[in-house]
Amino acid sequence: MPWFDLPLDELREYRSESAAPEDFDAFWSKTLQEAREHDLDARFEPVDTGLSTVTVLDVTFAGFGGHPVKGWLILPAAAEEPLPLVVEFVGYGGGRGLPHERLLWASSGRAHFVMDTRGQGSAWGGGGATADPVGGAPAFPGFMTRGIDAPENYYYRRVFTDAVRAVEAARSHPLTDSSRTVAMGSSQGGGISIAVGGLVPDLAAVAPDVPFLCDFPRSTTLTDRHPYREIALYLKTHRGRAAEVQRTLSYFDGVHFAARGTAPALFSAALEDQTCPPSTVFAAFNAWAHEDKTIEVYDFNDHEGGGPYHDLAKLNWLRSYA
C-alpha cells in the first residue's frame, strides 16, 4: 500500500482540529478520585514458568470501579534492589498473554509490568484474563462504541483508569523504582500510554508506538480499516448522532492527553499505516507538551511500524531515562 496521507513535511506541522472539552481535566480528576476510593489491593503471586532468567509474578489489582484487573510483573531473576520500571499496555484485542512472550525488558535489567486489557485478550497472542463487568448501551461489535452514548459510560474511561492504577500497582512492588517509570505500548497500547502520560505527572519517559486512539475527527473519516471503522459503522446505523459521538470521544483523544504530557517521549509512525494513519500519530506527537520528544518514521511500513528495529531504538533511547 503506497503513502495515502499527508506528505512528511506537512505531517511535521500538522495539528488536529479536535477541541478538548472545557471540563476535560475535571472529568479525569473526578474519575481517578473515584477509582482511588477503592483499595488498590495489589497482589503479587509467584508463578512457576520454567524460565530461569526471570521471576514472574501474577498480579491482581483494583482498577476502575474496584474491578479486579490482571497483569504480569516480570523481573530479572537476580534482582535484589529496585529496578527501572517499564509498564506496557497491549494492542487492540490482545491480552497480557503468556510470560515467555514478553522477555525483552526484563532481559535489559528492568522490571516489566504488562497490564491485561479488560474484556479483551481473545483476538491474538496468548490471551487475557480480565473481564469487563460493566454493561453499556447498544454498540457495534468490538470495543470502540461500547458506552459511546456518554463520556461517563465509555469503555475507554474504564481502560485508561485501569492503566493509571496499573502504574500505581507496579510501583507498589519493592523491586520497582517509582522514579524511573516508563509507560509504553504499540497501537492501542500506544494510545493508552499517551493517556497515562497525560494523567500521571511523574513518569520518567513515555514511548507510544504507532498509537491508536488519536485525533478522532480525522481518524474516523480518513481510514476504512478497523477498529476506527467500528465508529463509522455505528453511525451508519445511528444516523444523526455524529456530534454526540465526537463529544464523547473528545474526552479520550490522545491529542488532549499529549497536550498534558510531562515526560520525555519517543513516538513512532509508519507512512503506509492505514490502521493508525500517520497524520493522527503526528497530531499527538506535535501536541506533546514536553520539549524533549522524538519521533521515528518508518517510510514503507504499515501498522507493524518499526517492529524489532524500533525495539532496538527504544532500548537505546531509554538508556538516558530509565
Tell me the per-residue pLDDT of 166-198, one tens digit each, with 9 for 90 and over. Answer: 999 999 999 999 999 999 999 999 999 999 999
Q: At 2, is the pLDDT very low, low, confident or very high (cuts 50, 70, 90)?
A: confident
What residues pair up with 181 in beta bridges, in sequence order? 85
Active site residues: 187, 273, 303
| Residues 199-225: tens digit of each pLDDT | 999 999 999 999 999 999 999 999 999
Confidence (pLDDT) at 79: 95
pTM summary value: 0.97
Confidence (pLDDT) at 146: 96
| Residues 242-295: tens digit of each pLDDT | 999 999 999 999 999 999 999 999 999 999 999 999 999 999 999 999 999 999
Confidence (pLDDT) at 135: 78
Query: Which domains are seen in the chain, by residue range?
Result: 8-318 (3.40.50.1820)
- Average pLDDT of the chain, as a whole number: 97
Q: At 1, is the pLDDT very low, low, confident or very high (cuts 50, 70, 90)?
A: low
Q: At 110, is the pLDDT very low, low, confident or very high (cuts 50, 70, 90)?
A: very high
